[in-house]
Amino acid sequence: MSSTHLFVMDPLASLNRPLDSSLRMMYELSRRGHTVYSCTPTQLSWSNTRDSADANCAVLRFSGSPMDFTEDARTVRSLRSFDALHMRKDPPYDLDYVATTWLLDTALPSARVYNAPQALRRFNEKLAIFLFPQDCHQALVSCDPAALLGFVRHEAAGDAILKPLTLFGGRGVERLQLALHGEDQIRAKLEEATQRGQSMRLIQPFDKAVFAGEVRAFTAFGKPIAWCLKRPLTGNFLANTSAGAKLEIYEPSAVEMERVTRIATTLFAEGVAFIGFDIIGGFISEVNLTSPRLLKAPHDKNDYYDQLVSLIEADLGQS
């Protein structure tokens, strides 16, 4: 049974085609006979004369690979006319992002939405770890530069990592080292980052295990389906592919498997179908649910997208 899928995503021209997970999901769905459409959030609209929002969208046609595609002519379709909607827009997580989830709400319950709009609003990628304190390092979220500085001194023993709550891919992440920067410089950094106490930041102890690599676990419908190691460039603590990190095959420990499975199962019950976990030193550092990427090491022969689409088909009752 074929189905129709709308991917709400960044402009196609802006995608990193060799690494983009959305294109691979779309390709596999198309290869199996499903119809895939794409649009950007700015191509959604809602009139109060209609019971759901509309998408100005186009069918994608693939020619042999996820990187080789063409677009059909654009058409306007009701969100409720699709079997599934995939919210794949990358952060920043701002009011426009939230507004997009409001429009996606109008597709329910006629269409499935991955991840569910209410879950995207409820769970912040950086703060979701607070719901599972036994599975992560100690953390603090605050606007107060003095409180954040106190965390650097005491809980982080002079070495901390500072993160914004609304970005992704290592953007805005800073390492704060008392021995290297001095207290005055760190205080100034915290004043600037928080806009003098007006903007929240997350702070955690810096885990040197990141130099050996950060683990990415990808789960779908509460099940772990892929693992890899993101090994940063020598001397760099950012284990993101955009920062030059290399992907390697990874075999999870029993503790990592249990943690990821338990958290993914819990969040799936709340509407989070797809998650990209970041794990450092065995502890969860982020729970990525806005357009989570399935990262695959170059020599990994597993066809994870085949597994992923099989799970989507099963969820839609098409297995």
Q: What is the pLDDT of residue 319?
A: 42
Using CA atoms, how far residue 210 sits from 57, 61, 133, 315, in Å, is 41, 40, 20, 35
In the predicted structure, residue 233 carries a pLDDT above the cut 50 = yes
N-terminal to C-terminal alpha carbon distance within the chain: 9
- Each as own residue / partner, the long-range contacts of residues 182-191 (CB below 8 Å, 24 or more positions apart, any chain) are 183/149, 183/153, 186/149, 186/152, 187/145, 187/149, 189/162, 190/145, 190/148, 190/149, 190/162, 191/145
- What is d(CA 100, CA 117) in angstroms, rounded to the nearest whole number? 9
User: Is pLDDT larger for residue 126 or for residue 241?
Assistant: 126
∠184-185-187 over CA atoms, to 5°? 65
Nearest CA to 176 out of 95, 254, 237 is that of 237
pLDDT in tens, 253-265: 999 999 999 999 9
pLDDT in tens, 172-192: 899 999 999 999 999 999 999
Q: What is the pLDDT of residue 230?
A: 95
- What is d(CA 305, CA 30) in angstroms, rounded to the nearest whole number? 12
In the predicted structure, residue 312 carries a pLDDT above the cut 50 = yes
Query: What is the DSSP code string of 214-278?
Result: EEEEEEETTEEEEEEEEEPPTT-----GGGTPEEEE----HHHHHHHHHHHHHHHTTT--EEEEE
Q: What is the pLDDT of residue 18?
A: 85
Q: What is the pLDDT of residue 318?
A: 61
- Each as own residue / partner, the long-range contacts of residues 262-268 (CB below 8 Å, 24 or more positions apart, any chain) are 263/132, 263/135, 263/287, 264/219, 264/222, 264/223, 264/224, 265/222, 267/119, 267/123, 267/128, 267/222, 268/221, 268/222
Q: What is the pLDDT of residue 284?
A: 97
Residue 226 burial (C-beta neighbours within 10 Å; 0-12, 13-18, 19+): buried
User: Domains in the chain, ordered, with CATH?
Assistant: 4-117 (3.40.50.20), 138-206 (3.30.1490.20), 209-301 (3.30.470.20)
Q: Which helix (H) or strand (E) holds 64?
A: strand 54-65
Segment 32-61 shows an average pLDDT of 97
Segment 111-116 shows an average pLDDT of 97
Segment 222-242 shows an average pLDDT of 91
Segment 113-142 shows an average pLDDT of 97
